[in-house]
Amino acid sequence: MSHKGGPLHGELAVPGDKSVSHRALMFGAIAEGVTHIRGFLEGEDTLATASILGKLGVRFDMPSQGERIVHGVGLHGLRGSPDALDCGNAGTGMRLLAGLLAGQAFDSTLVGDESLSRRPMRRVTDPLAEMGASIDTNDGKPPLRIHGGARLHGVTYRPPVASAQIKSALLLAGLYAEGFTEVVEPHPTRDYTESMLKAFGWPIDYSPGHARLEGGHVLHATNVDVPADFSSAAFFIVAASIVPGSLLRLNGVGLNPRRTGLLSALRLMGADITVENTRTSGGETIADLVVRHAPLRGVSLPEEIVPDMIDEFPALFVAAAVADGTTTIRGAAELRVKESDRIASMANGLKACGVSVDELPDGAIIRGGGLRSGSIDSHGDHRIAMSFALAGLVADGPIAIGDCANVATSFPGFMELANGAGFRLEAAN
């Protein structure tokens, strides 16, 4: 249950970046030597990836919360497991592991929870098949049965949709392939995989929308400092923007340019967001964000920034609901195949809270003006749940949020951190 609150204040450190945490585990696992990860996200998704790698013979030490020491086994040192490898709710984990496991000598089966088992995997398994991989699916959905011993060869692939997960799966498979693997995207996506491969010493050429590497090299262990997750910070960025009198500082947030479309969108709407203390760590740009309340106005969102904010759209929907005027979102069909159909989930939830929304095949038209009390179903989607948690801050009565246990997948401790900043969240009895 989320209740109306007063101004938000304070300095916050949100959890580590999920995308970087997944990749640091995987690259550390197949590197030569010992990798030290700091700022690791202790979430269910990343813990599922760590558990899978453990079953494949990788040893991890945990000196403290948010810290992992990975004892790499080398490119060909993973061992097969007779057990199904459970990715939980982690779509990133499953798609990237499909690429990594496609090049192994042993068979593997990747499974997931009910939500993940409904998500499309052909976008990854089809191009992997073009490289020579042999993967069986359940009509294009999990479980993925990956047959070992395939002889992979490099390809040039032009994905029909811009997706860092597709690109990353192919690059991971490309480590084991003969020749060059090249991905040419319709729109640039986040380059976490490319920059981390470079940090681990693998020769790779990349620029926005393009990546190319050759198989047969070696990964060398390195230290990885994981930045604070921008997608987790997004809920507080929007909250401070819409609650009168708010002033929040979010420290050490990762500002990968292919991830931060929300900042551009909110600034178009009139938000007051300042970037301070910019620095670089592990190839990633990190900065502190200072967010002050500002009146927002509706906009027609430029489609060119849509690929850079797919995970942040649920929070943006809430910003649009309280803005003055109409916000039009197009070009975001990818939202239909996330943990839930996020367009339908957000449109239905906002309607339940009195907002006028027209659902479009690839977006929505949201007429702002405010929210009222309501009861919504998050459909087990952590980002839907957290978005309506911040909606409750400005609604005229409490918002009840159902099916929200999966918040722990990406943001452990969300309720405690949020309430410390001025939210008024309480668990249902």
To which residue do tokens 């911040």 refer?
390
The two three-digit tokens of residue 108, written as one number: 């593997």
The whole-angstrom distance between residue 39's C-alpha and the CA centroid of its chain comes to 16
- Residue 230 host element (H or E): helix 230-242
The two three-digit tokens of residue 113, written as one number: 């929870």
d(CA 85, CA 106): 13
The two three-digit tokens of residue 270, written as one number: 């009139």
DSSP letter string over 322-343?
Answer: HSBSEEEE-S-GGGGGSSS-HH
How many other CB atoms are found less than 10 A from the CB of residue 27? 25
Spot the catalytic one: 86, 229, 311, 381: 311
Q: What are the backbone dihedrals phi and psi of residue 347, each rounded to the nearest 5 degrees, phi first?
A: -60, -45
DSSP letter string over 383-411?
Answer: HHHHHHHHHTTTSSS-EEEES-GGGGGT-
The two three-digit tokens of residue 191, written as one number: 């380059």
Q: Residue 399 forms beta bridges with which residues?
A: 2, 374
d(CA 323, CA 338): 25
Residue 311 annotated in active site: yes
Catalytic residue list = 311
